Each structure stands twice: as structure tokens, then as C-alpha cells.
Amino acid sequence: MVSILGINLFGRKITDKETIKKLLSRIKNMDRFYLNSYLQEVQGKTNRTVKVTGRIKISLGSYSYLGLIGHKKIEKAAIQAIKKYGTGAGGVRLLTGNSTIHKQLEQRIANFKATEDAIVFSSGYVTNMCTIAALFGKDDLVIIDKFDHQSIYDACILSGVAWLRFNHNDLHELETILQDNIKRYKRILIVVDAVYSMDGDIADIPEIIRLAKKYKAFTMVDEAHSLGVLGEHGKGLKEYFNLKSADIDIWMGTLSKAIPAIGGYIAGKKEMITYLRYSAHGFVFSAALPPSVCASAIAAFDIIEKDTKRHKQLKNNISYFLTGVKRLGFNTLMSKDTAIIPVMIGSVIKTFRFAKKCNDLGVFVCPIVYPAVPKDAGRLRCCVMATHTKKDLDNVLRVFEKVGKELSVV
């Protein structure tokens, strides 16, 4: 479950004064000891470097993995779309009209994913929330991995569906849950992240597909961190495991990571997508994406398919950085082949200190601590980008080595 800084609003009452007081005092303490690396003001574009209060730092904090923010073709496409369609969509598509650019984006995604159809929503979070709620109900069971994204937890909690979770990547436990529940529910859905956002490891999808077939369960995969990253050409999980599109029932992805826009999508069978267009609350009751965002996303899909050099560079950087961090003696968990490399530090306070020192030394990175991750599993989540240069990565490694020794982490 992902929650930052101890804010887990859905586990508690939002209006609970005690909870709010605790959080505010935690933030005050971080500020008092100059340990707060969150919400730093970034000036200008986010790419391999960021400008923070006038100082350029190497960024490990962005999941724009292919470094496409600021890409000239994408910016041009966005500007042309503004000229043609204006800045806003004007309302929900069902009632305001289904603009050509929205249809084009959905067709582009369906084409990229080789599925019958696709639908876009205004964010990845909303996509997970309202898709699960629209497709599954009180007679169904949703089974999730313990480390699935918060939006999947929230979808289960707020939609009122029965749900269970298995320990991270523990597919024996998943099978036991399937065995125990197959007769108790009308339908079962298994939802996993393709790449786990805090650990950087990859779900064992072929085995999950095998179990789903055996127990007649549906499958949904969140490709937020695998799109543009996994596979020989960055086409994602399907390419990585050599799957067929039909092997997964619900392909979910975001347009906010390797694709430098905003929004989320579901790709799959035409019937399911049409059903979502008329029933998913995040579509029916929420305004459509701005045309410039659609145009940016379309241009980015084109670049992912055509500019294979960029993806190759990302792969080289991942391998170079991961090897370097490991060589220094840091624990990087099971991260492999993904652009998320957790660098394990330990306690909350040590992780805060480590991140602060890195930021002071020109490396922009945020601490990830309990309850986002287990106690004493505090870490720096390092996001590698295609645009990082070897010099950038070497500089980061030097900083990590220095700070690691100072704080006795390595």
C-alpha cells in the first residue's frame, strides 16, 4: 500500500483531529530539523536535471523515464491542438461531444496495445478507482498484491467489493485464496502492478495468468511503470513476457510517466470498453482531458514506437546505475530491468538524513518511509531516465558513496 508521510486517509476518518494534528506535527519536526525533502519548488521543466531554488540538481525523482518532457515534437503537437481545439474539453464527453482528438488518442492506445479498444480517463488514479468499481460488485471478489498501488486499494475500499490481498509476489498464497474462494463468489478479479512503484520489481505475470485460467479468474494489470520501459522496445509487459493481448482482461496504464501528459487508460475488449464509456463514474461524471494533453500523449506513443535509441539508452542507464549502486554495497531489493531502483537506507530518520544530504550535494531524491514501506525499510526511490548522462550517474554514485559512508549505510 502506498501512502506517503503516514497519511493514509482511507484507513482512518479524514476529519479525525488527532490524525491531522499528528501529521502536522510530523511535518513541523521535519521542517525544524531541515529534513523535509518533500514538495520542493521546482522551477522550469523536469528532466534529467531540475532547478530547485535557483540550483540545478540531477533528478532521480521523476518517472518521466524516457525523458520526453520538453520534447520538441510533443510540445509542437500540444500547441497545434490548442490552436485547433482550444484549451479545455468543455465537459464530460458523453454530453459535450466526443471530440476527434479523444477518439484519436483512444485508437492510438488500442493500436499500441493491440487490443480491440481503449478508453481514457483524467488520471491514472481515477482509472483504477472507477474501472474496478464499474466492472465488479457485491457478489465478486478482488484479490490484490499487498504492494499494489494505493488507487487499487482505494478502488476496493470505496467500491464496496469484497477484497483480499496476498503477500507481495507470494503466488502460493494467491493460489490458496483462489482455491478457498472460487465457490463463494460469482467472479474473481486478480489485480497486480506490472512494476511495483516502491520496490521496482516485476510481477510474475505468466504464473498469474496460469492461475487465473485455472481458477477462471479475471486479470487486471497496472502498467504505470512498465509502459515505455519493459520489453525490447519499451512496449511494456506484453513485450517483456511475450504475451498475447488476450492473456490479460484489463490492461491499465497511465499517461503521466513515460508518456509526458496526464491521464490513464484501460485497453481491452470492445464490449468492456463500451460498457465503461456508459458506466464508469470517472468517465461519466468527470470532464474530459484537455485536447493538448491528448495530442501530447499521441505524439509520445509515436516517439516510443519510432525512437528506439531512446529506449536503448534507458536500458543502458538502468543497468549502469544498478550495477554501480550494488557495487557500492547498497541493497537494491529485487529491482531488475525496471527504471525504479530502491536504495535501501533503514530507519525513517536515517532515510530523511540521507535524502537531505543528497539534496544538499546536488542530487534531487526523495525519502520513502513508513507507512509507504515497512518500518526500517526506508529507502531512496531512484528513477533512472534515458536522458541521464554517464556523468550524471557517476556524480550520483559518488554522492551516494560519500553519504553512505558518513551515515554508515555501506
Q: Does 264 bind ligand PMP (CB under 6 A)?
A: yes
Handedness of CA 16, 368, 310, 221 (dihedral sign): negative
Closest distance of CB 61 from ligand PMP, Å: 12
Whose cell is 540538481? That residue is 57
Q: What are the grid coordinates assigned to 358, written together?
A: 543528497
Contact 379/373 with Cβ under 8 angstroms? yes
**SS3 of the chain: helix, strand, coil, percent, to 5:** 45, 15, 40
Amino acid 211 reads L
Q: Does 335 bind ligand PMP (CB under 6 A)?
A: no
Whose cell is 465503461? That residue is 276
Q: Does 256 bind ligand PMP (CB under 6 A)?
A: yes
CA–CA gap between residue 341 and residue 331 (Å, rounded)? 10
Q: What are the grid coordinates assigned to 402, written together?
A: 560519500
Interface map 289-308 toward ligand PMP (x if CB under 6 A): --------------------
Nearer to ligand PMP, 154 or 392 (CB): 154
Nearer to ligand PMP, 120 or 397 (CB): 120
Binding to ligand PMP, residues 109-148 (CB under 6 A): 123-125, 128
Tell me whether residue 59 is one of the annotated catalytic residues: no
CA–CA gap between residue 158 and residue 303 (Å, rounded)? 37
CA–CA gap between residue 94 and residue 285 (Å, rounded)? 9
Tell me whether residue 225 is one of the annotated catalytic residues: yes
Only segment of 37-45, 183-191, 217-225, 354-362 that touches ligand PMP (CB under 6 A): 217-225
- Catalytic residue (one of 123, 197, 256, 335): 197
Closest distance of CB 386 from ligand PMP, Å: 19
CA–CA gap between residue 283 and residue 272 (Å, rounded)? 14
**How far are the Cα atoms of 16, 33, 150, 266, 358 from residue 27, in angstroms, in the given order?**
17, 10, 21, 36, 20
Contact 341/314 with Cβ under 8 angstroms? no
Q: Does 151 bind ligand PMP (CB under 6 A)?
A: yes
247 CB-near residues (< 8 Å, 6+ apart): 209, 219, 238
- Catalytic residue (one of 257, 311, 356, 388): 257
Closest residue to ligand PMP in the complex (CB): 124
Interface map 224-243 toward ligand PMP (x if CB under 6 A): xx------------------
Strands 141-145 and 55-59: unpaired
Nearer to ligand PMP, 174 or 255 (CB): 255
Phi and psi of 142, rounded to 5°? -110, 130
Only segment of 107-115, 219-227, 284-292, 331-339 that touches ligand PMP (CB under 6 A): 219-227
Element (H, E) at 49: strand 49-52
Burial class of 21 by CB neighbour count within 10 A (0 to 12, 13 to 18, 19+): exposed
Tell me whether residue 71 is one of the annotated catalytic residues: no
Closest distance of CB 252 from ligand PMP, Å: 8
Q: Does 69 bind ligand PMP (CB under 6 A)?
A: no
Closest distance of CB 16 from ligand PMP, Å: 25
- Catalytic residue (one of 225, 235, 238, 356): 225
Q: Does 154 bind ligand PMP (CB under 6 A)?
A: no
User: Which residue spans within 69-161 are E strands per DSSP?
Assistant: 117-121, 141-145
What angle, rounded to 10 degrees, do the helices at 171-181 and 205-214 form?
20
Only segment of 96-104, 202-210, 221-229, 287-295 that touches ligand PMP (CB under 6 A): 221-229
Nearer to ligand PMP, 220 or 403 (CB): 220
Interface map 186-205 toward ligand PMP (x if CB under 6 A): -------x---x--------
Q: Which residues pair with 57 in a beta bridge?
A: 50
Q: Determine the size of the site formed for ligand PMP (CB under 6 A).
A: 14
Q: Which of 145, 222, 247, 307 binds ligand PMP (CB under 6 A)?
A: 222
Closest distance of CB 123 from ligand PMP, Å: 4
Closest distance of CB 42 from ligand PMP, Å: 17
Closest distance of CB 343 from ligand PMP, Å: 18
Catalytic residues: 197, 225, 257
Rule CB under 6 A: which residues touch ligand PMP? Answer: 123-125, 128, 149, 151, 193, 197, 222, 224-225, 254, 256, 264
